[in-house]
Amino acid sequence: MAKRIIITIDGWSSCGKSTLAKQLSKKLGYVYVDSGAMYRAITLYFMRNDVDWTDKKEVKKALKSIELEFIKNEKTRQGEMYLNGENVEYLIRELVVAEKVSDVAAIKEVREFAVAQQQKMGAKKGIVMDGRDIGTVVFPKAELKIFMTADNAVRVERRFKELYAKNPNITVEEVKNNLEMRDYIDSHREISPLRKAKDALVLDNTYLTPDEQFEAALKWFKEGM
């Protein structure tokens, strides 16, 4: 059997990380883990339960009541995020959650909680995980690390189209502000800020189609094997 590795994909918000991760996991028969979904589900729990996340005690107590699980949707063959047994895959993508998630993801206790579970998921390798700190903190020894980027305007347009399909009241301005705010907080926080790992390969997909970005990443994968 071919050697199975860990592939990490980090980068800015909405630059196609999950699209590439899904392409690679499908092709290679690897597990795909969307680490951002975990931070989003924790945020949803905090919002629903009025957890004051500036209070460490409250955060610690709340985390004890959170169980996160990815369960495969048999139709789409993709893992979906479950929070305490409830499928929250669609709820966590809403802008109300996106507006708070970067603040919640900056909390030390929240990161420790999520990272421990992510590392367990990668113990058997054969995994593609996307996020912000996967190549730097979660799997610093991963065999293939990709850092994705794309022009701001292109990223805003892509995310706007995605969100508009579900909510036609959304404006480009709202989406742009949210992306800029998240990128700022994610790259300036004290713990595990978004950084390119020294050994990560940069993939700028501003002018690439999904097929072209997939071919580029697959080439890197093959070269490393």
Cβ proximity to ligand DC: between 150 and 222 the closer is 150
Distance CA 70, CA 89 (A): 9
- List, as one string, the DSSP characters of 94-155: SHHHHHHHHHHHT-HHHHHHHHHHHHHHTTT--EEEEESSIIIII-TT-SEEEEEE--HHHH
User: Among candidates 28, 65, 26, which has minimal Cα distance to 45?
Assistant: 65
Q: x/- string (CB under 6 A) for ligand DC, residues 117-156?
A: --------------xxxx----------------------
Cβ proximity to ligand DC: between 22 and 40 the closer is 40
Q: By CB under 6 A, name the one of 28, 44, 101, 163 that touches ligand DC.
A: 101
Q: x/- string (CB under 6 A) for ligand DC, residues 32-51?
A: ---xx--xx-----------
Cβ proximity to ligand DC: between 30 and 133 the closer is 133
Size of the site for ligand DC (CB under 6 A): 14
- The tokens describing 79, both together, are 């893992």
Q: Is 89 in the site for ligand DC (CB under 6 A)?
A: no
Q: Is 68 helix (H, G, I), strand (E, B) or coil?
A: strand
Footprint on residues 12-31 left by ligand DC (CB under 6 A): 13
User: Among candidates 190, 170, 30, 171, which has minimal Cα distance to 107?
Assistant: 190
Binding residues (CB under 6 A) for ligand DC: these are 13, 35-36, 39-40, 101-102, 105, 131-134, 182, 186
